[in-house]
Amino acid sequence: MDLAPTDAQEPVATQAYSNRQRLFMRYFTAVLVDLVILNLFEEYWSWVTIESFTISLLAAILLQILLRATIAVEHRVAAYFNARKGKWARFMRFFCAWLVIFGSKFVILEALDMAFGDEVSFGGPFHGLIAIIVVVVAMLGIEELIVRFYRRLGDSPSA
C-alpha cells in the first residue's frame, strides 16, 4: 500500500501553481477589479452609463483585452526605439508611446460602441474621451495597487 500523499491530500498552500493557473488568476482578478470600477463609476458619475450588470461584465472583459493589447503594443514600440541610439530615438520612443496610449482610447471607445452601442456610454467633454481616460486610469491604478499589495503579502514573514 502506497501512503505517499496525493495532490488532493496536500494543503493548498504547498501546491505549486502552473503558469497557466497564475495567468488565469491574474486576468480573472483584473476583470473583477475592472467590473467593480466600471459599476462604481456608473453609479456615482453621470458621464458613465451602463444598462445592466451583464453588459458591465462584458465591457470589463473587453476593456481588459484592449488594455492588455495596448500595453503589449506600447512595449513593442518602446523596444524598437530603445534598440536605437541617439536623442531622436529617445524622443520617438516617448512620443510613440504617448501616441499609442492616447490613441488607444479612441480605439477603446469605438470598440465599446461597436460591441454595445448605447448600452455603454461615456459622456462629457470631447465625446466621452475624458470619461474613458479617467475610467481607464482608475482601472490601471487600482490594478497596480492590488498587485503591489499582493506582492507585499508574499514578502511578509508568516505567523
Confidence grade of residue 65 (pLDDT, cut at 50, 70, 90):
very high
d(Cα 99, Cα 158) in Å, to the nearest integer?
45
For residue 146 the three cell numbers come to 492590488
The whole-number pLDDT of residue 61 equals 95
41 Cβ neighbours under 8 A, 6+ residues apart: 47, 48, 134, 135, 138
Confidence grade of residue 58 (pLDDT, cut at 50, 70, 90):
very high
Convert the pLDDT of each residue in 16-53 to its tens digit: 888 898 889 889 999 999 999 999 999 999 999 999 99
Whole-prediction pTM: 0.77
